[in-house]
Amino acid sequence: IDERGPVGAETTAPIHASAPLFVDQSTESAILVTGIKVIDLLAPYAKGGKIGLFGGAGVGKTVLIQELINNIAKGHGGTSVFAGVGERTREGNDLYHEFLDAGVIAKDADGNPTSEGSKVALVYGQMNEPPGARARVALSGLTIAEYFRDVEGQDVLFFVDNIFRFTQAGSEVSALLGRIPSAVGYQPTLSTDMGALQERITSTNKGSITSVQAIYVPADDLTDPAPATSFAHLDATTVLNRAISELGIYPAVDPLDSTSRVLEPRTVGQEHYDTARAVQSLLQRYKSLQDIIAILGMDELSEEDKVTVARARKIQKFLSQPFHVA
């Protein structure tokens, strides 16, 4: 990728490995502070959790990923691993150069990229690669993340773009092996393949791997077996909304559609929980008033509703923020 020749390595590790033993897994529920207000308040990430990132083209998925990598590097001293599974070569190239410009990938005195001081490892298997390679890229990236967790004791952020392509590649391999396909033509081992990958993403007594997975939903059908299988493993969802990005509010995270299992008083505290629910309640009321505002204008609202709209707009602005990498 970086035209620096072969990667020199002293140790190797198998990409097919078992999940950490039950006794080695951490049972503590801890929050991974990302430094992104809307996520930390309304849909917080759990350390060792799995987050689904939903969003179309051009709503800021890549920039959000870059900011998360930057903040984890600076706030936690942690490393990130990015696995590009079955996506466009151009996207991988753009991401690499954007990381160089943002300083996430360090440069030496001559201006060449160097691993010393870099905070991200990139693993790619693009669309033009054979299905066997695409099916293994996610596992290769995960093995690198496991090294940082188990050997160096770090809190690692592991990005997969796109988890659907991992399933798609597995389906192609299954067909080449002559297995009888299951529902909608997917491999009969769909749940097993997904479970083997997802179960390795967890917190242990040494460190944690928190995974952010971009999920493509074919034909917007949430009941399709591929996305439906990955939903069962998710702890949080971050939904990027084009309508919010069109208002110029970035990050364009939808505060009402994004969810998190750890948004409960026992984990985040009663004050945080009450504040988050009050914010969502206010934004929901504002959303229900938007049709009236669009047709009749603000003047037709009651005084109470006008206060609601004013507050909601202030909250929307507050939940946006400038990014270090953009």
Mean pLDDT of the chain: 90
Helix (H) or strand (E) holding 50: strand 50-54
Q: What percent of the chain has pLDDT over 70?
A: 99
Q: Is 87 known to be catalytic?
A: yes
Tens-place pLDDT, residues 199-222: 999 989 998 899 999 888 887 787
4, 28, 74, 88: which is the annotated catalytic residue?
88
CA distance 42 to 52: 15
CA distance 261 to 237: 9
- Beta strands (DSSP E) in the chain are 31-32, 45-46, 50-54, 80-85, 120-125, 155-161, 208-214, 236-239, 259-260
What are the backbone dihedrals phi and psi of residue 85, each rounded to the nearest 5 degrees, phi first? -105, 110
Crossing angle of helices 190-198 and 131-150, rounded to 10°? 30
47, 61, 134, 200: which is the annotated catalytic residue?
61
Mean pLDDT of the region 162-178: 93
Q: Is 61 known to be catalytic?
A: yes
Whether the bond between 181 and the residue before it is cis, its omega within 30 degrees of 0, is no
Mean pLDDT of the region 133-153: 94
Residue 203, CA distances (Å) to 75, 150, 210, 212, 229 in order: 18, 10, 8, 14, 21
**Structure tokens belonging to residue 25:** 């897994």
Q: Is 264 known to be catalytic?
A: no
**Domains detected in the chain:** 22-267 (3.40.50.300)
Residue 1: is its pLDDT beyond 70?
no
Sequence length of the chain is 326
Q: What is the DSSP string of 76-111?
A: H---EEEEEES--HHHHHHHHHHHHHHTSS-B-TTS
CA distance 271 to 293: 32
CA distance 157 to 65: 10
Tens-place pLDDT, residues 70-113: 888 877 777 899 999 988 888 888 888 888 887 788 888 888 88
Q: Which of 326, 272, 325, 248 is nearest to 73 (CA)?
A: 325
47, 50, 67, 87: which is the annotated catalytic residue?
87
Q: Are 1 and 92 in contact (CB under 8 A)?
A: yes
